[in-house]
Chain A
Amino acid sequence: FRIMAGKVKWVTDIEKSVLINNFEKRGWIQVAENEDWNFYWMSVQTIRNVFSVETGYRLSDDQIVNHFPNHYELTRKDLMVKNIKRYRKELEKEGSPLAEKDENGKYIYLDFVPVTFMLPADYNLFVEEFRKNPSSTWIMKPCGKAQGKGIFLINKLSQIKKWSRDSKTSSFVSQSSKEAYVISLYINNPLLIGGKKFDLRLYVLVSTYRPLRCYMYKLGFCRFCTVKYTPSTSELDNMFVHLTNVAIQKHGDDYNHIHGGKWTVSNLRLYLESTRGKEVTSKLFDEIHWIIVQSLKAVAPVMNNDKHCFECYGYDIIIDDKLKPWLIEVNASPSLTSSTANDRILKYNLINDTLNIAVPNGEIPDCKWNKSPPKEVLGNYEVLYDEEMAQSDGPERDLRSRPGQSTGAKGNRARDLGKPVLTTWK
């Protein structure tokens, strides 16, 4: 029973027009951080402050923020891998069929993150793995950075000597986490289109982790490198060949400002269906949805499921030439910068649909609500996984059969009439 029917008061520390235009079009009122606010779209630094022991404060029932307090369990490269490894081990211990392994010891259903080690902590483990395959290429990524900063490729142990020296010292614990790196097996056989490497950026909205309720934005896109792909060792240093981040590619000679090197996911789907066939394409997209849901399930137990929070993640996925998708990383603050006109429209609509789900009816929020928006407000989102719904389907569902509906951006085929799509596997 609402006493006041005032306008939503918003704050943001991210000055992006796609955000501000969306707030203004709802007639919301901009306020300062220290005033009474209902909605705060914050950067990851700010969320750290809000929930920190020293500077934090309690949020009231009519306040909503766009990050979960410990989102880094998913969005830091090292923690993501740690959580997924832990999740897999737990399932294995339980004897869950999901954790089944093949004859080579690889997980059949849960092998979606390239082999990864933390440096300097796991240096020796890494060396052991490296020596099994000395001609392999590995990719070094700083744990705390984004936009492709600080990433480089190696194919010789000597190139990462720095981390081996440090691991021998007993005081590596004092090493600031900013210098921590992850090293992953580089996917040197990416699926190429027109000879170029690309990755997928997909947006996933999580409104609650327990029960898990997440939505996938139908309008994801592919980001292409401007330079032809080659696994040749002479080009390992050429970031224009290997890294798809727009922040990197836009400095290349051939970067085009009209299309920005981006393709819609529906284009990708059309191309794959036409050249590879429908079954393998549907299977690919099902697998992509699967790995997203599994990654969220992996971190759900450790997530602070604060009811004031929702989060819109940017998932980066690479498809290899055997049409297997790999989860590369998850971004807590996907870029809201628009590199092209189409981009601006897409991001504007993304925020619009996100706000419609997170702040129902555009009214002053009540964080006690059940977080179950009606189907009509989803916009370009569709339900990826709804734990409550899935559980109410009963335990007789076979975990191994994943009929999973294809939801490529081209079609929203809700064949389970009335039920949310994609909840056919638990």
Chain B
Amino acid sequence: LDPDRGLSLTIARVVQRLQGSSLHSQLERQARGSLHKPEIKLESLKEDIKEFLKRSGWEKKLQNAVYSELNVFPSPCHPAAPPEHIKEPLAYMRKAQGSWEKRILKSLNSMCTELSIPLAQKRPANEQKELLNKWNEMGTDEPDLSLFRPVYAPKDFLEVLMNLRNPNCENGEQPSFRNHLGLIQVPLKVKDISELKEDFCELGLNIGQLGIDDSAQVPPEFFENEHVRVGQKVLAEQDSAAAQQYVRQGCPTALRADLWALILNISNQPEDILYYEQLKSNVIQHNLLVDSLIYKDVKLTASNDDYYFVFEDYLYQVLLCFSRDTSVLEHFTYSSATPPKSYIQGKLGMEEYAVFYPPNVNYNSFILSVAPLCFLYHEPSKLYQIFREMYVRFFFRLHSISSHPSGIVSLCLLFETLLQTHLPQLFYHLREIGAQPLRISFKWMVRAFSGYLATDQLLLLWDRILGYNSLEILAVLAAAVFAFRAVNLMEVTSLAAAEAVLADLSTLKVMPLLQIFLFATVT
């Protein structure tokens, strides 16, 4: 596919997506309103209006929207490619994801039958009223959740990934140092250290970083003050692309909320707030089985977490709304997953009563990806939108089987490859004692390290996820953690002991670890 053809396809797609959006109507309104202005002349109407839109900041908004589209949606591979290929180009991956989904749905359905609870039902009026009153403190409710069990555990998912095989690749050789010794046995292409160094060049040793160069011993004049000044300028310009570049060196805490919103192109317009309120009323009106699962998972994870327990009530609000948000369905065009569909009891087949389940009904990963955001946004509708955007850009890839470089399969393979290549002795030792490294690091990556790192460190890590528009940094950090604790790990003789060495990550400083691993380790 020649580049020009690809470009015009991309343009066509972006135009199609932005057409009819609220930004489009706002631009039209602005353009029409500008006709009254003296500087708009009939002879040069087009140029004058364009100039006006540029000066008034509307061109920048359009730029941000286009940039956002480019970031989120993959470029079309070929005009004749069927839609499944945009979801996932490799057939065997699609098949594996399909089986996984069937398994989840079966588990959900059998839970419904066992408990005689429908997947979805309308709430009686008094229950609706009660929920509305309790909306801000659902955490104090104590329904009987003992019969609900999580649909699957992270290790179940890992088992599925371990069993992935490419039917076109015959691996008759015996495993040896020449092959891959890890758990993931599919030949996906992952980056090596020199490629990672290039990609993450802004993390280099001679470039200032928040998380390193803002520590107490470093005078702020060296880096921090200037970095904050630049950040304020980026925010003043409201430029998404600049913001994305900027946050690669970390966000100052006071600017982070606004910078992330700018990168994710979230502006919390009145119609966004209205949309959130509508979702809220959907929650009030209908009870989903999934709600109980959410409830139980929040109780198990966030309520017991030293940092997140304070925000328990926000988590219910966000997740209950999320499971009813049909706009999330859009991301399924580029996700390998297809959501199971259900209907409100008694309305089988009627599309307006259809309810989609996000493929990952095991919510504790969700919960842990919402909770850190509560440190930044305390307005529910904004919190909701930020979370939703983070999910459809990044986090969904942690829960579905795909070949995407930021997908969980690639991350696992990247982690194992990095470890095997740069710490072969450690890797071999751990494997010999039955402690395959991925068994320990999987849960970190699948939760994007939330619940394992201290919050300020986690936010510095997520700055880089946004900055590089990729989750690969999770795999690099996982490898860096093993490298950091290598000495202790070489001395353990069991999986349990290895787990113990790596049980507490709350004191780790992520940026020095990443920097050392990428740029200061002899390879």
CA distance A33 to B175 in the complex (A): 71
Chain B residues contacting A258 (CB-CB under 8 Å) are 304, 306
Chain A residues contacting B309 (CB-CB under 8 Å) are 256, 259, 261
Q: Are A270 and B303 interface neighbours, CB within 8 A?
A: no
Chain A residues contacting B459 (CB-CB under 8 Å) are 270, 274
Q: Are A259 and B456 interface neighbours, CB within 8 A?
A: no
A95: interface (CB < 8 Å): no
Within 8 A of A (CB), among B60-112: none
Within 8 A of A (CB), among B290-324: 303-307, 309-314
Q: Are A278 and B252 interface neighbours, CB within 8 A?
A: yes
A266: interface (CB < 8 Å): yes
Stretch at the interface among B187-195, B270-278, B373-381, B485-493: B373-381
Q: Are B216 and A413 interface neighbours, CB within 8 A?
A: yes
Q: A194-B374, A254-B139, A414-B216 are in contact. Are A278 and B253 (CB under 8 A)?
A: yes
CA distance A288 to B305 in the complex (A): 27
CA distance A259 to B310 in the complex (A): 10
Q: Mark B134-172, 1 if CB is under 8 A from A, else 0.
A: 001101101000000000000000000000000000000
Chain A residues contacting B303 (CB-CB under 8 Å) are 256
Q: Are A263 and B254 interface neighbours, CB within 8 A?
A: no
Q: Are B310 and A263 interface neighbours, CB within 8 A?
A: yes
Q: Are A274 and B256 interface neighbours, CB within 8 A?
A: yes
Within 8 A of A (CB), among B242-275: 252-254, 256-257
A224: interface (CB < 8 Å): yes
Chain A residues contacting B216 (CB-CB under 8 Å) are 411-414
Q: Are B310 and A270 interface neighbours, CB within 8 A?
A: no
Q: Are A194 and B314 interface neighbours, CB within 8 A?
A: yes
Chain A residues contacting B305 (CB-CB under 8 Å) are 259
CA distance A273 to B215 in the complex (A): 16
B10: interface (CB < 8 Å): no
B494: interface (CB < 8 Å): no
Within 8 A of B (CB), among A245-279: 253-254, 256, 258-259, 261-263, 266-267, 270-271, 273-275, 277-278
CA distance A412 to B140 in the complex (A): 38
Q: Are A195 and B304 interface neighbours, CB within 8 A?
A: no
Chain A residues contacting B378 (CB-CB under 8 Å) are 275
CA distance A253 to B303 in the complex (A): 13
Q: Are B254 and A194 interface neighbours, CB within 8 A?
A: no
Q: Mark A404-423, 1 if CB is under 8 A from B, else 0.
A: 00000011111100000000
Chain A residues contacting B374 (CB-CB under 8 Å) are 194
Q: Are B376 and A267 interface neighbours, CB within 8 A?
A: no
CA distance A224 to B377 in the complex (A): 19
Chain B residues contacting A254 (CB-CB under 8 Å) are 139-140
For the A-B complex, the count of residue pairs with Cβ-Cβ distances under 8 Å equals 72
Q: What count of chain B residues pass the 8 Å CB interface test?
A: 32
Q: How large is the interface on A (under 10, 10 to 19, 20 to 34, 35 or more residues)?
A: 20 to 34
CA distance A253 to B456 in the complex (A): 31
Q: Mark B214-225, 1 if CB is under 8 A from A, else 0.
A: 011001000000
CA distance A342 to B307 in the complex (A): 12
User: Smallest CB–CB gap between B263 and chain A, Å?
Assistant: 16
A82: interface (CB < 8 Å): no
User: Smallest CB–CB gap between B77 and chain A, Å?
Assistant: 40
Q: Mark A382-426, 1 if CB is under 8 A from B, else 0.
A: 000000000000000000000000000011111100000000000
CA distance A410 to B215 in the complex (A): 10
User: Smallest CB–CB gap between B428 and chain A, Å?
Assistant: 35
Interface centre among B303, B306, B309, B312 (most CB of A within 10 A): B309
Q: Are A259 and B304 interface neighbours, CB within 8 A?
A: yes
Chain B residues contacting A270 (CB-CB under 8 Å) are 253, 375, 455-456, 459
Within 8 A of B (CB), among A328-374: 342
A236: interface (CB < 8 Å): no
Pick the contact of B136 from A195, A342, A410, A415 — CB < 8 Å?
A195
Chain A residues contacting B313 (CB-CB under 8 Å) are 194-195, 228
User: Smallest CB–CB gap between A352 and chain B, Å?
Assistant: 18
Within 8 A of A (CB), among B213-240: 215-216, 219
CA distance A167 to B264 in the complex (A): 65
Chain B residues contacting A193 (CB-CB under 8 Å) are 310
Pick the contact of B137 from A228, A273, A275, A342 — CB < 8 Å?
A228
Q: A195-B136, A258-B304, A277-B254 are in contact. Are A266 and B456 (CB under 8 A)?
A: yes
CA distance A196 to B219 in the complex (A): 37
A227: interface (CB < 8 Å): yes
Q: Which residues of B pack against A, CB within 8 Å?
A: 136-137, 139-140, 142, 215-216, 219, 252-254, 256-257, 303-307, 309-314, 374-378, 455-456, 459
Q: Which residues of A pack against B, CB within 8 Å?
A: 193-196, 224, 227-228, 253-254, 256, 258-259, 261-263, 266-267, 270-271, 273-275, 277-278, 281, 342, 410-415
Some 24 contacts from A to B, beta carbons below 8 A apart, are A194-B312, A194-B314, A194-B374, A224-B310, A227-B140, A228-B140, A253-B140, A254-B139, A254-B140, A262-B306, A263-B307, A263-B310, A266-B456, A270-B253, A270-B455, A270-B456, A270-B459, A274-B254, A274-B256, A274-B459, A275-B257, A281-B254, A342-B306, A413-B216
8 residue pairs, one from A and one from B, having the closest CB atoms? A194-B310, A273-B253, A278-B254, A228-B137, A258-B304, A277-B254, A259-B306, A194-B311
9 A-B pairs besides A270-B455, A274-B254 with CB distance below 8 A are A194-B310, A194-B313, A194-B374, A195-B313, A228-B136, A228-B137, A258-B306, A275-B376, A281-B254
